[in-house]
Amino acid sequence: MEVSMIEQQETEPASQEVVETNTRERLVNAAVEVFLERGYGGTRVQDIARKAGFTSGALYVHFPSRSALLSEAIIREGKIILDSMTESLDSLETQASTPIQAMAAFATAPTTKFDRLLLDALALAAGSEEFRTELDGALHGFVDSIRSRVTASKARGSIDQSVDVEALCNLYVSWVFGSVVSKALGLSMSDPDGLADIGAKFRSSI
């Protein structure tokens, strides 16, 4: 079974049509869409305003600057991506799949524009207390989901009883976030079989 940790994002959040929404939300939604198409540098205020059905002037009534709007959009979408990664981990069959299989699949999945957006969200959260607070629930949900799966693996004896759950949890979290960085940067990906093989060797050893 192949497990894609973010397959849900490819179509849903950005293109979702919300019929009843206020101006601010429409602007943030439009900013996410334009950002995913054009990246940080290529996202122009006019394009966001046009997509939302407003003038650029109206946009500045709601956001002091282009970067304030983009930051809010990136953090909001980053939360959705993290929640969806957690959901996809949580939906794994306890017996049939292991965290390491899901992570190997994620690490070798093709790069998507969501890797870049999530990397931006993580960087924003690392640099700002306010954004960190915004992202905190989603971040901890993700870490907790990995922790509970590692704990369950240990409880049913499928990993070495001497393994420190927090350490293994930390290694897995780093692996996932590092895969986001590697993919966002287009660093050369190994073939999935090679990584799955290492994952299997590793899993059988702990």
Binding site for its own copies (CB under 8 A): 39-41, 67, 107, 115-116, 119-120, 122-123, 125-128, 132, 139, 143, 160, 162-164, 166-171, 173-182, 184-185, 187-191, 193-195, 197-198, 201-202, 204-206
CB of 112 to its own copies, least distance (A): 12
User: 165-184 and 129-155 helices cross at what angle (nearest 10)?
Assistant: 130
Nearer to its own copies, 27 or 172 (CB): 172
Least distance (Å) between residue 83 CB and its own copies: 16
User: Per this entry, what is the length of the chain?
Assistant: 206
CB burial of residue 153 (10 Å; 0-12, 13-18, 19+): buried
Nearest CB to its own copies, comparing residues 26 and 113:
113
Are 105 and 55 within 8 A, CB to CB?
no
| DSSP letter for each residue of 99-141 | HHHHHHHHHHSPP-HHHHHHHHHHHHHHH-HHHHHHHHHHHHH
* Pick 29 or 114: Cβ nearer its own copies: 114
Report the alpha-carbon distance of residue 48 to residue 99 in Å, rounded.
Answer: 38
- Closest distance of CB 206 from its own copies, Å: 5
As measured in angstroms, the least distance from the Cβ of 6 to its own copies is 16
Could you identify the residue written with the tokens 């919300």?
18
Cβ nearer to its own copies, comparing 93 with 188: 188
